Structure 1
């Protein structure tokens, strides 16, 4: 009996040890580390100056004086400076007649620069990639762009490749979530996430005001990031992904149609941005942060907010209601990485979260230097923070982005390693932030501000 009891105990001990090892291995495998990332800087010959932007608008012979003034006013208020980038076909005056090759050339230039540089920085090669996720919202070709990257860089035959389209500016986090989930099913693996947008074939040449604004706001850019769940690689990672929350309000018709690709009355295709966009974005932001806050904020802050809300309800019975208490996200976050979709977008988030000028500086400076580069924009904002050496070990970085659908996605990173790479900001970071940002468009087209009657919605 004693021997049988001893064997039973040993068996149970081995079983428990195996379970513990499995739980530890599972936990390690569920970790998601950012090894490194690269933002794309097009060549200087593709910069869009004030003169060039005005000239492109003047080329559209369909525009009457009201539409011309409207577009100039959008540029004046956009927050974009003199050094953002556009595709070659627009510089060459062919925006109205783009070719399939124009789109491919735009993608290949980005792949050859950013993806190749990322492999060089990390010391990893294309055949080390187990998972590839590519997101380009406005260009879906066959074979896919993911397959194009596999072939261009000679990746392994068993690489799990995913290609996303139609996901808008928040596609970067959709790709990030997909890559993280794919890594959870593969032990000690590496994922490459590639985010960009196709501008070359998507210039809107019509006169619908809700569809003309995209021409003024969106610019060329892109990012490539390497992620891993391998603990040995994680030791040299820059950041660790702690939380990711996705909110999609497409079940609501107003939200679904507030940023929509469609034809205008003349059959020309473009992206329509409705006047409901700010309201829809605010609602999606509230829903997203409502799910995110309990995961990242201390209990003391959640208790303070709950007590304040309860007090407001008790005191406001039968009285005029005033604004209630706000959650202080700074109790759980040191840095805020906000999608630079436009000045109004950044200022709206600033007000909603109670942030200060320093908190939104990276987003506004990114908008000024690079414009809205769609799904890759947040990586330029993060790169600004890194170039300014703001990110210290243990700091938490909240990334927040919006996109058609309508979607609001957020994620929280924890800084794990030394971050001081100036990246694409290397040649200009010392110039930011300037004491006073001059608006070259306002200087040249100041007269358009005197025109009344139009509303900028984004």
Structure 2
């Protein structure tokens, strides 16, 4: 928090009367975020002034991807030469952001065509160039929720892997609602009123029907799952999921 305050009060951005209020806001969000002391921000954001460069973003992505893939190969005993399909999903750094669900679906489709091989799916986000230092509270939330991290998943269509595999991928379901302006703009990278770039998480993330007479069908997921781990994509989203799924919260 001291480092964030120093960054905000640096000559580049200037000291504002709102700083104390905004720092209190960020502190409250962080305290409720559930992030522990072992989470990381990129090396460039530890510097003064912060280094939000393309080179820094590449370094963050390389460290995350290589670390996740090395760990996967170590845990599975699979050799990199055994991989026949590679799908990499990157968000906020790649000029064409993509999603992890799409990446898994692509790997699944390729495995249906290419037999007796492995598909490696690597998913990561990049935050080096996405530290927000403006005064818009809805954009400051992203500073509190996102940290360095990534995941590597190995998918196989080899019959010998049926028994040792942790899961069987039976179905993948994707619904594209990008034509809806609320869906399209629910998470947007844009300039705030002062021209500072940041990511806005809107309250439209849990999209609802406009016609109140239409009842939104919600399956009873508790018949299939005992526990849920919800992506911490903002308090409004978590509250809406808790309400719609009739969940109780445990820590």
> Into which bin does the TM-score normalised by the smaller protein fall?
0.7 to 0.9
Displacement after TM superposition at 1:184 (Å): 1.0
Q: In 2 relative to 1, CA 250–200 (structure 1 residues): closer, same or farther, beyond 3 Å? A: same
Q: 1:282 to 1:140 in 2, by over 3 A?
A: closer
Pick the structure with greater CA Rg: 1
Partner SS for 2:130: coil
Structure 1 unaligned segments of length 5 or more: list them.
Answer: 1-52, 142-164, 285-320, 365-458
Give the aligned partner of residue 56 of structure 1: 4
Say yes or no: does 1:139 pair with 2:93: yes
Against the structure 1 CA distance between its residues 345 and 54, is the aligned structure 2 distance closer, same or farther, given a 3 Å change threshold? farther
Q: CA contact under 8 A between 1:89 and 1:98: conserved in structure 2?
A: yes
Question: SS in structure 1 opposite 2:165?
Answer: coil
User: In the aligned structure 2, how far is the partner of 1:258 from the partner of 1:117?
Assistant: 34
Distance 1:325 1:110 in 2: 39
Whether 2:55 is the aligned partner of 1:101: answer yes
Alignment of 1:48-127 (within 5 A): 53-61=1-9, 62=14, 63-65=16-18, 66-95=21-50, 97-127=51-81
* Distance 1:250-1:74 versus aligned 2 partners, 3 A rule: same
DSSP 3-state at the match of 2:228: strand
**1:79/1:342 contact within 8 Å kept:** no
Report how many aligned residue pairs link the two structures.
Answer: 240
1:133/1:192 contact within 8 Å kept = yes
Q: 2:241 aligns with which of 349, 355, 364?
A: 349
- For the residues of structure 2 that align with 1:166 and 1:325, how far apart are their CA atoms? 30
The residue that corresponds to 1:210 in the other structure is 138
Please, what TM-score do these two structures have when normalized by structure 1?
Answer: 0.48
- Richer in helix (by share): 1
CA shift in 2, pair 1:90/1:331, >3 Å: same
Aligned residue among 87, 97, 101 for 1:166: 97
The separation in 2 between residues aligned to 1:195 and 1:325, in whole angstroms, is: 30
Aligned-partner Cα distance in 2 for 1:344–1:262: 20
- What TM-score do the two structures reach when normalised by structure 2? 0.83
Q: Could you tell me which residue of structure 2 aligns to residue 329 of structure 1?
A: 221
Larger RCO: 1 or 2 (CA < 8 Å, sep 6+): 1
Cα distance in structure 1, aligned partners of 2:217 and 2:43: 50
Give the alignment partner of residue 182 of structure 1, picking from 99, 104, 110: 110
